[in-house]
């Protein structure tokens, strides 16, 4: 790889590092995504939107962050979150003097901003990008680049309403680039399945503004123990035919803390306190999935049981095949036996959805993989949807 000068795209050479090819590969696509999102938001008369970055700016931020992620400082690799916005937006902590956007600068600053929710602010003046300070406040659709681990970068943006997990746009790992298929074109044309997965792949939110399935999935993935969450229709006890009895940890009456919060009107509680309460309730439910067995909730987000052992429903046949997709551009459905996709937890979740076709199953692996299982009437089989890229 040649030692070419990498520029900020704003006019001047800034960083003397080998060029990171993936940065240039993805920059135009990411530029188009943000331009489209901002234009659509403006048509809806949304206000206080973050500026959309140019392709050159995106390339420069990715390049500097990638090389910084590979530089250990005092024996630890940095984790960095960078937001592209002018310092007057939000509530910034400003440096007295701007710092250049260089890998060595980012590596040195990383320990100060490694806690969740803190971002280094980057903006361009005098034809070059610089780091102006740090902020916790990101405007709607604000470009954020997060370095998760050495060489693993996630591009995301803040959702319009500001609540819940940021929406992932692309994931870069070494020379591998995965761009999120926000329009669902990688999925088979199957409305029921798309509806079941809407919370993961669409900008639409629940009426209360929190994408609860995404929050539950992210929290399940975060505890690192692996787990299964079964979502069944409220008022329908058919799911009990697909589990082993007695259920050791059956909840009666159903635990409704999360459901109660989601039913509250915004006037009943301040937005910040409400969001924090929802986050705690989500973590409480997701924490149950760390117990051996599956956690069962209904589609109102009431907890029915945990530690549940899935069994073959009487008269049902073992699931023989399923279709697997990932919500990234260029993905093609792949039909495989369930045993090729994962271990016992994945196989039992696929069987549950095969037998309980109005349910969905969320499965987290200890290695960070995450799969949503849903019945697809279009393919007449279980659909396993890999959504790791949406949860990083």
Q: What is the pLDDT of residue 122?
A: 96
Model confidence at 132: pLDDT above 90: yes
**CA–CA separation, 157 vs 159, rounded Å?**
6
Q: Please give the angle made by the CA atoms of 172, 178 and 179, to the nearest 5 degrees.
A: 115
Q: Any idea what the CATH number is for the domain that residue 199 is in? A: 3.40.1700.10
- HSE value, Cβ hemisphere, 13 Å, CA-based, for 389: 22
Q: Is 185 among the domain residues?
A: no
- The mean of the pLDDT values for the chain is 86
Out of 124, 146, 179, a domain closes at 179
In a domain, 186, yes or no: no
Percent of the chain with pLDDT over 70: 85
Q: Within this chain, do residues 312 and 229 fall inside the same structural domain, yes or no?
A: yes
Q: Are residues 28 and 51 in the same domain?
A: yes
- Residue 96 falls inside a structural domain: yes
Say which residue, 308 or 205, is predicted with more confidence.
308
Q: What is the pTM of this model?
A: 0.80
What are the residues whose beta carbons fall under 8 Å from the beta carbon of 44, sequence distance 6 or more?
none
For residue 121, what are the β-bridge partners? 83, 133
DSSP-derived 3-state class of residue 312: coil
State the average pLDDT over residues 342-349.
Answer: 92
Among residues 135, 154, 179, which one ends one of the domains? 179
Tokens of 317: 């046949």
Pairing state between β 227-232 and 294-298: parallel
Which residue has tokens 């370095």? 147
Q: Of 179, 209, 227, which residue constitutes the final position of a domain? A: 179
| In a shared domain, residues 286 and 138 | no
Query: Do residues 145 and 203 share a domain?
Result: no
CA–CA distances in Å: residue 147 to residues 58, 63, 219: 14, 11, 19
Look at residue 36 in the predicted model and tell me its pLDDT. 92
Question: How far lies 374's CA from each of 216, 340, 366, in Å?
Answer: 17, 17, 21
pLDDT tens per residue, range 254-266: 999 999 998 886 5
Say if residue 157 is in the same domain as residue 211: no
* Pairing status of strand 80-84 against strand 119-125: parallel
Task: Work out how many domains the chain is built from and give that number.
Answer: 2
Average pLDDT estimate for 133-154: 93
Closest residue by Cα to residue 324 from 361, 378, 373, 369: 373
Q: Say yes or no: 248 and 353 in one domain.
A: yes
User: What is the per-residue pLDDT across 187-205, written as a single tens digit (0 to 9) for each?
Assistant: 666 666 555 565 555 554 4
Task: Say if residue 84 is in the same domain as residue 166.
Answer: yes
Domain co-membership, 126 together with 253: no
Residue 281 resides in a domain: yes
Q: Are residues 84 and 223 in the same domain?
A: no
Higher pLDDT, 209 or 105: 105
Residue 289's alpha-carbon distances to 21, 24, 197, 222, 307, in angstroms, are: 40, 40, 20, 11, 8
User: Bridge-partner residues for 374, per DSSP?
Assistant: 360, 383
What's the rounded mean pLDDT across residues 308-326? 93
At residue 285, does pLDDT exceed 70?
Answer: yes
Owning domain of residue 74: 5-179
Q: Kindly state whether residue 44 falls inside one of the protein's structural domains.
A: yes
Minimum mean pLDDT range among 178-192, 222-236, 275-289, 321-335: 178-192
For residue 267, pLDDT over 70 is answered with no
Domain-embedded: residue 184: no
């Amino acid at each position: 790889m040649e030692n070419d000068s990498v520029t900020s795209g704003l006019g001047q050479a800034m960083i003397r590092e080998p060029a990171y090819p993936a940065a240039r590969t993805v920059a135009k696509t990411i530029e188009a995504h943000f331009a489209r999102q901002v234009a659509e938001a403006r048509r809806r008369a949304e206000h206080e939107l973050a500026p959309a970055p140019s392709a050159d700016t995106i390339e420069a931020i990715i390049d500097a962050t990638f090389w910084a992620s590979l530089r250990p400082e005092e024996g630890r690799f940095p984790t960095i979150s960078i937001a592209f916005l002018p310092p007057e937006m939000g509530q910034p902590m400003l440096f007295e003097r701007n710092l250049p956007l260089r890998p060595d600068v980012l590596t040195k600053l990383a320990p100060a901003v490694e806690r969740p929710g803190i971002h280094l602010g980057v903006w361009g003046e005098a034809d070059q990008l610089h780091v102006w300070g740090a902020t916790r406040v990101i405007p709607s659709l604000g470009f954020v680049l997060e370095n998760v681990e050495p060489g693993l970068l996630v591009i995301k943006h803040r959702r319009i309403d500001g609540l819940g997990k940021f929406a992932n746009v692309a994931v870069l790992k070494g020379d591998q680039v995965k761009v999120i298929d926000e329009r669902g074109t990688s999925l088979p044309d199957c409305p029921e399945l798309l509806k079941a997965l809407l919370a993961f792949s669409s900008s639409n939110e629940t009426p209360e503004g929190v994408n609860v399935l995404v929050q539950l999935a992210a929290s399940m993935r975060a505890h690192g123990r692996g787990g299964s969450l079964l979502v069944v229709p409220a008022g329908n006890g058919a799911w009990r035919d697909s589990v082993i009895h007695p259920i050791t940890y059956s909840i009666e009456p159903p635990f409704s803390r999360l459901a109660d919060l989601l039913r509250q009107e915004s006037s009943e509680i301040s937005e910040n306190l409400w969001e924090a309460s929802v986050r705690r309730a989500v973590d409480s439910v997701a924490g149950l999935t760390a117990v051996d067995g599956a956690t069962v909730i209904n589609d109102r987000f009431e907890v029915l049981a945990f530690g549940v052992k899935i069994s073959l429903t009487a008269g049902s046949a073992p699931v023989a095949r399923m279709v697997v997709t990932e919500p990234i551009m260029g993905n093609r459905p792949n039909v495989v036996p369930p045993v090729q996709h994962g271990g016992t937890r994945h196989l039992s979740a696929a069987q549950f959805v095969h037998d309980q076709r109005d349910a969905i199953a969320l499965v987290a692996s200890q290695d960070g993989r995450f799969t949503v299982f849903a019945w697809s009437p279009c393919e007449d089989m279980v659909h396993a949807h890999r959504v790791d890229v949406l949860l990083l």
